[in-house]
Chain A
């Protein structure tokens, strides 16, 4: 079974500073994918970044980067130069394998980030 753990229910960061949101995962699949989604107060789910288990480099998308440490089974999201608009709930998720039954993403419980001016 796959499991995603986000141990930070809430975090605060000052505007323009960097912040790291933690995510650890557990899977027995040799091939898997890790995702981060953002959910602002409006409720929609916005895809941010993806990391494949065999990717040699950490994924980056603009101000978002994924600190992938395979041996430690962690996939932390780093947001650089935080903006007020980054205030939202952030979910880590994973998909393991290609079987039909595992095409869904397994989500963590989320971290609520608040950016302070």
Chain B
């Protein structure tokens, strides 16, 4: 099966500019996650979707970050405007779950990420 596809792989922008990341999950996976991974650290959840509904966005900095998952398949994550501290790897993951009580029972399948550098 095809894995989680993310684009672009790398992005370099100046601060205050907008940037967008795209993710296509594994076919049939209803749950999609966006994580941010800072250098030398583990991934931290930004937002989790079950189908097209954002069920956990408590860690998403809503003043500058936004996400959407129209039609419950692929997803975009946007930052506007970007700040120096946003430099990180942005990972998308997907899994098949049957509701919030079974969230994270199944392994997450990760894409290769987008490495963002803000200068």
B is a partner of A: no
> Which A residues have a C-beta under 8 Å from some C-beta of B?
none
